[in-house]
Amino acid sequence: MNYGLRRRWIRKLKRNIRDPAANRLVAKYYKEMYAFIYKQTLDPELSLDLTQEIFISVLGSIKSFDSGKASFRTWLYKLASNRLVDYYRSKYYQYAKYSEPIDNYDWSDGHDMAVSLEYREDFERIASLVNRLDAGSQQIIRLKLFGEYTLQEIAASESLPLSTVKTRYYAALKWIRKKLEEDRHGHG
Contact 138, 85 (CB under 8 A): yes
Q: Using one digit for the tens of pLDDT, what is the confidence trace for 106-134?
A: 544 444 545 555 666 777 788 888 888 99
| 135: nearest Cα among 65, 84, 72 | 84
Among the three residues 46, 72, 100, which one is the final residue of a domain in this structure? 100
Report the distance separating Cα 92 and Cα 101, nearest Å. Answer: 15
Half-sphere exposure of residue 6, counting CA atoms within 13 Å on the CB side? 12
The confidence score (pLDDT) of residue 113 equals 45
The confidence score (pLDDT) of residue 23 equals 77
Contact 140, 158 (CB under 8 A): yes
Claim to verify: residue 17 and residue 59 sit in the same structural domain? yes
| CATH number of the domain bearing residue 176 | 1.10.10.10
The confidence score (pLDDT) of residue 185 equals 80
Claim to verify: residue 87 and residue 150 sit in the same structural domain? no
Cα dihedral 122→157→50→41 (10° resolution): -10
Domains contained in the chain, number:
2
Q: Using one digit for the tens of pLDDT, what is the confidence trace for 24-70?
A: 778 888 999 999 999 888 889 999 999 989 988 887 887 777 767 77
